[in-house]
Amino acid sequence: MTAFAELMAFQRETEALAQVAGRLGWDQETMMPRAAAQQRSEEIAALEAVLHARRTDPRIGDWLAAADPQDDVAAAQLREIRRGYERNSKVPGALAAEIARCTSLAQGIWAQARADEDVAAFLPTLEEVLRLRREEAAALADGGDPYDALLQDYEPGATGAGIAALFDRMRPRLVALREAILGADYQPPALGGHYPEAAQLRLSREIARAFGYDFTRGRLDLAVHPFSSGSGSDVRITTRVSENDPFNCFYSTIHEVGHACYELGVDPDFALTALGQGASMGVHESQSRIYENQLGRSHAFTGWLFGRMRQAFDLPVADADTFHAIVNRVTPGFIRTEADEVQYNLHVMLRFDLERALVAGTLAVADLEEAWNNRFLADFGVAVQRPSDGVLQDVHWSVGLFGYFPTYSLGNVYAGCLHQALRRAVPDLDADLAEGRTAPATEWLRETVQRHGKRLLPGEVIAAACGAEPTEAPLLEYLEQKFRAIYRL
Amino acid sequence: MTAFAELMAFQRETEALAQVAGRLGWDQETMMPRAAAQQRSEEIAALEAVLHARRTDPRIGDWLAAADPQDDVAAAQLREIRRGYERNSKVPGALAAEIARCTSLAQGIWAQARADEDVAAFLPTLEEVLRLRREEAAALADGGDPYDALLQDYEPGATGAGIAALFDRMRPRLVALREAILGADYQPPALGGHYPEAAQLRLSREIARAFGYDFTRGRLDLAVHPFSSGSGSDVRITTRVSENDPFNCFYSTIHEVGHACYELGVDPDFALTALGQGASMGVHESQSRIYENQLGRSHAFTGWLFGRMRQAFDLPVADADTFHAIVNRVTPGFIRTEADEVQYNLHVMLRFDLERALVAGTLAVADLEEAWNNRFLADFGVAVQRPSDGVLQDVHWSVGLFGYFPTYSLGNVYAGCLHQALRRAVPDLDADLAEGRTAPATEWLRETVQRHGKRLLPGEVIAAACGAEPTEAPLLEYLEQKFRAIYRL
């Protein structure tokens, strides 16, 4: 066997074991009996130790030095394996283990603190998580910017400065749009009504199929926080049900279908290789967002959904236009995950600025809550009344995810670019969406984005799909056009 | 750390990974999307390779040589770790891998051959599986009897000669009882009726709870072939539903609850150690069988079940005595897994004699079908008409399980002994069973059998629980008494 073949065989087993670890996580959130949590943590730790040893195995360095790639795909395989190996080898094993141990405990402490509305109970833990991740960032940065080093885990090639400049360009137009909407004469009504769980789940499955989700390679279950899990030919999604708010279920489903279809759409030749997953968190979010928003919340598709919901439920909405307005209703709110398309990125910008300051050391953990609340009042015009609506609302920082938040907005920006290119490529898309057919859109996305997996870098894949470097302009134009129509501005 | 502590820490991670592998198997039979099978086989192979490397890690030999056990439990831990290590170290890695590869493929070939009623399509595969397992048996036997060597994987301490003598003592009384039953004037009617799936599953869960199954450490799902899976604090069961035959569902559930309660009943201090599982397949089957038969098919418990089924279904049975007779109805049949308590062991004896001859080399694979059919006619008085009713009915041999079948009957024998001792210990048990309360029985079994895990050897744990070495007498007396009453003999 050549060095390249040996490396690929070794990597294939590692990828297979990583799939097993991912499925353990899925099981934990969907199936695991509740008293099994302690044993499960030992099972996960044992498997993660196996994975860490494989990912830092010195033979990888030897194989990389000796391997001779025969084509572009092989070169991309080596690039991705090298990136992972060099990244993991920079972090001392003791630090990696300490981060794993600390973040695993921190999640529970955060959840309890949030339930108790007790920021002080969480701060010492956050202090420790941040200290460890800053230490890791310093090891990864090689003298460069620590926040940029953390970003690479989620969005290879992105920089804090670049994202800050992007957000500075986006913020004024989003704020202006939000103010216009909230001051508009027309305001859509609240939905009202009652939507039984079983019927929501039936329609959810129909919607998932309408977006091309392949149930022979996946399944749909319930979870507290919806997620998508797995790569290759076993990619599972979850949703949740609130009997007063069916859109929570349906749009969670569509969002996760977007993530899942990305993984299922990767070239099967890349399965169980370093290229066999989405290019980055940002590109991943571009797929979930364009499925959920540009397609799922379009006037055409909500017209189809309105018809299906009238058949399935006692729906107190008079017409498809009102239904479309309700689906896209903009209201003041504290919670990022419940935010509409207009305000969502403003929530992300707040977190980005705060976490960047935390990592830089210019904001102390002790001052974080005050900084959050001041910033929220300035950006959203309302005062946070309780920590679960403010600094304690997201799990991310407790598990050490510094540098992750901006990928949500990068995903929105990418989705805006892709949507513009998609509309050019499929000009009569709305006729299909109005009949619940998404195939012209989802097949275009599969061909232009999804099938490449990690073969192209995040910026490359979006640029190749759109024929231009991604910018915020298409997203902002789409939002302004859509919401001025809905709010009759 | 002492050598003992290092060994225990290493073993703990191995046990945790083995739990992960077991849960992958559970997922495959209950949750996995059907097009994920190919990827799954790679995931399992990667994890099994990790486990095999750990189980034959030469450091285990060093730790075993240096470890100094401080008490009986520590000595038992070392005994079990040593047994596994020596066993696995005797088998060349290439042979172990070849057996894994071959049996994984063989199961599919067997299933297809069974569906096609085509013995010839399966024989070359069976030939190969048998060849590999005989090679493994020779490696394990150290010059001793190869079949005995295979038996040790399932029932440590058992011998082919001992089992043959046991079966020789059992056969005449079982045959005589069967003949008396089939010739009796009174014959219970067939059940009839229709039993909707949802209601069967609801009652199944109630029955599982009645037998003490702890749903906070387990769950109940559907599977084609019911099984129990896992150890420690995550032990899951499955059942199946036929809408014409509710007893298939209910007694599959009780059987698997017996297996699961054994694992859940092991001393929590033994979790994720070499002692943290049932003592042997035979002792395991003793628990599933005593739950299913001596308790679940008792006159007292079926009286309770009769009442519950009358509430849940439109039940065409007039009274509790008739219901009890229907539950225990003896009819001629070809299929082991559908056999009643009287005939079940006769099915096992047939397989034991044939597989012992196969392993000894005195029966050729080419002659197996004829040998099966001749023996079946002699033992059961009816001629096998199609291979799926005969030599192709069980999966075991296709996956290399030679030496496994007799543990089913050992389980029945052990269950007979335990039942006799239980009735002495809890004389008024029937009053509880008649109210659907099994706790006096299941708690006695947990204290006397289940909590010991692998600390005691299989023979020891039954002898300790019963106060005497196990024999076939209690089982045969129980069967004769029970079925003479039902059939009014």
Residues A9-18: tens digit of each pLDDT: 999 999 999 9
Angle at A481 between CA A477 and CA A482, to 5 degrees: 115
Going across the sheet that includes A220-222, the strands are A220-222, A236-239, A228-229
The CATH number given to whatever domain includes residue B484 is 1.10.1370.30
Decide if pLDDT at A214 tops 90.
yes
Mutate one of B10, B38, B43, B229 to test the A interface: name it (highest A CB count within 10 A). B43
Same domain, B273 and B315: yes
Boundary-marking domain end, from A145, A171, A206 = A145
Q: How far apart are CA A373 and CA A345, in angstroms?
A: 17
Torsion of the alpha carbons at A160, A166, A171 and A177, rounded to the nearest 10: -150
Contact assignment for B35 to A214 by CB distance below 8 Å: yes
Same domain, A165 and A141: no
Could you tell me the sign of the dihedral formed by the alpha carbons of B415, B421, B424, B428, in that order? negative
Decide if pLDDT at B107 tops 90.
no
Contact assignment for B17 to A50 by CB distance below 8 Å: yes
Provide the pLDDT for residue A93: 85
Q: Which residues of A touch B263 (CB under 8 A)?
A: none
Beta strands in A240-395 (DSSP E): none
Decide if pLDDT at A229 tops 90.
yes
Domain enclosing residue A298, as ranges: 146-489
Question: In whole angstroms, how far apart are CA B463 and each of B127, B294, B468, B469, B471?
Answer: 39, 19, 5, 5, 10
Nearest-10 crossing angle of helices B72-90, B119-141: 120
Task: With beta carbons less than 8 A apart as the criterion, state whether A342 and A174 touch.
Answer: yes
Question: What integer is the mean pLDDT of B402-414?
Answer: 98
Boundary-marking domain end, from B145, B160, B191 = B145
Q: Which residues of B touch A23 (CB under 8 A)?
A: 24, 27
Provide the pLDDT for residue A340: 97
Contact assignment for B43 to A215 by CB distance below 8 Å: no
Q: Which residues of B touch A217 (CB under 8 A)?
A: 33, 35-36
- pLDDT bucket at B1, cuts 50 / 70 / 90: confident
Same domain, A26 and A95: yes
Question: What integer is the mean pLDDT of B150-158?
Answer: 97
- pLDDT bucket at B103, cuts 50 / 70 / 90: confident
Mutate one of A42, A215, A266 to test the B interface: name it (highest B CB count within 10 A). A42
Q: How many domains does chain B have?
A: 2
Average pLDDT, chain B: 96
Tell me if residue B228 falls in helix, strand or coil: strand
Q: How many angstroms away from the CA of B223 is the closest CA of chain A?
A: 15
Complex-level ipTM: 0.94
Same domain, B127 and B155: no
Question: Could you tell me if B314 lies within 8 Å of chain A, comparing CB atoms?
Answer: no
Contact assignment for B20 to A234 by CB distance below 8 Å: no
Same domain, A368 and A464: yes
Provide the pLDDT for residue B280: 98
Partners of A239 in beta bridges: A222
Question: Least CB-CB distance to A42: which of B16, B36, B47?
Answer: B16
Q: Which residues of A touch B35 (CB under 8 A)?
A: 214, 216-217, 233
Same domain, B86 and B155: no
Please give the share of chain B, as a percent, with pLDDT higher than 70.
100
Provide the pLDDT for residue B347: 98
Q: How many angstroms away from the CA of B310 is the closest CA of chain A?
A: 28
Could you tell me the sign of the dihedral formed by the alpha carbons of A313, A319, A324, A325, in that order? negative
Task: With beta carbons less than 8 A apart as the criterion, state whether B17 and A47 touch.
Answer: yes
Contact assignment for A217 to B35 by CB distance below 8 Å: yes
Backbone angles phi, psi at B76, to 5 degrees: -65, -40
Q: How far apart are CA A231 and CA A80, in angstroms?
A: 16
Provide the pLDDT for residue A282: 98
Provide the pLDDT for residue A101: 82
Decide if pLDDT at A57 tops 90.
yes
Same domain, B136 and B165: no
Which residue in the list A256, A263, A285, A292 is annotated as catalytic?
A256
Question: Least CB-CB distance to B216: which of A23, A34, A43?
Answer: A34
Task: With beta carbons less than 8 A apart as the criterion, state whether A433 and A304 touch.
Answer: yes
Q: How many angstroms away from the CA of A54 is the closest CA of chain B?
A: 11
- pLDDT bucket at A274, cuts 50 / 70 / 90: very high
Nearest CA in chain A to B233: A36
Question: Least CB-CB distance to A19: which of B31, B43, B45?
Answer: B43
Same domain, A206 and A106: no
Which residues are CB-contacts of A201 (< 8 A; sequence separation ≥ 6)? A220, A222, A239, A241, A249
Looking at residue A428, its amino acid is D
Tokens of B354: 């044939």
Nearest CA in chain B to A13: B46
Same domain, A40 and A175: no
Average pLDDT, chain A: 96
Question: Could you tell me if B50 lies within 8 Å of chain A, comparing CB atoms?
Answer: yes
Same domain, A231 and A337: yes
- Name residue, tokens 């085509």: B118
Please give the share of chain A, as a percent, with pLDDT higher than 70.
100
Residues B424-469: tens digit of each pLDDT: 999 999 999 999 999 999 999 999 999 999 999 999 999 999 999 9
Going across the sheet that includes B236-239, the strands are B220-222, B236-239, B228-229
Phi and psi based region of residue B144 (left: phi greater than 0; alpha: psi -120 to 50; beta: remaining): beta
Angle at A334 between CA A331 and CA A338, to 5 degrees: 65
Question: What integer is the mean pLDDT of A458-480?
Answer: 97
Active site residue A256: yes
Provide the pLDDT for residue A224: 87
Tokens of A182: 């909230």
- pLDDT bucket at A184, cuts 50 / 70 / 90: very high
Provide the pLDDT for residue B184: 98
Question: Least CB-CB distance to B17: which of A46, A219, A233?
Answer: A46
Question: Least CB-CB distance to B40: which of A27, A219, A234?
Answer: A234
Tell me if residue A222 falls in helix, strand or coil: strand
Count of residues making up chain A: 489
- Name residue, tokens 């209910």: B250
Boundary-marking domain end, from B145, B165, B199 = B145
Decide if pLDDT at B55 tops 90.
yes
Same domain, B230 and B312: yes
Same domain, B176 and B61: no
Question: In whole angstroms, how far apart are CA B222 and each of A222, A292, B62?
Answer: 18, 33, 45
Residues B8-39: tens digit of each pLDDT: 999 999 999 999 999 999 999 899 999 998 89
